[in-house]
Amino acid sequence: MTILDAQQQVDQWIKTVGVRYFSELTNMAILTEEVGELARIMARKYGDQSFKESDKDRNMGDEMADVLWVLICLANQTGVDLTEALQKNFEKKNTRDAERHKQNEKLKPQSPEG
């Protein structure tokens, strides 16, 4: 599936099963909520927080897909072509960041001792 396919499929689903898009502001709030749910899993799986019983059945891939779904909704609502936007973002990063990260001491491989 391409990004364009995803945008078209989400739009079709919203207009048939979902009836209509929520407002942009509502979707922004939902996106924040979904990112929070993903953060909760990340904090427990990779961070220092302990899992609660209610967290153990949560699926990280599903939470990421929820984030992507709402982001696609916002793109559709605001007329953003995510394929084009991502391509431009790569161009920006390849120009602006071509050497920046290579110069970052914090990103250099650590020696086996430390």
pLDDT in tens, 41-92: 999 999 998 988 887 788 999 999 999 999 999 999 999 999 999 999 999 9
CATH number for domain 3-97, candidates 3.40.640.10, 3.30.70.60, 1.10.8.60, 1.10.287.1080: 1.10.287.1080
Residue 75: name the closest of 9, 1, 17 by CA. 9
Residue 73 pLDDT: 98
5 membership: H or E segment, kind and range: helix 3-16
At 82, which amino acid appears?
A: L
Length of the chain: 114
pLDDT beyond 80 at 114: no
User: What's the CA gap between 87 and 102, in Å, rounded?
Assistant: 22
Residue 13 pLDDT: 98
Q: Report the chain's mean pLDDT, rounded to a whole number.
A: 92
Percent of the chain whose predicted confidence (pLDDT) is above 70: 96
Residue 52 pLDDT: 84
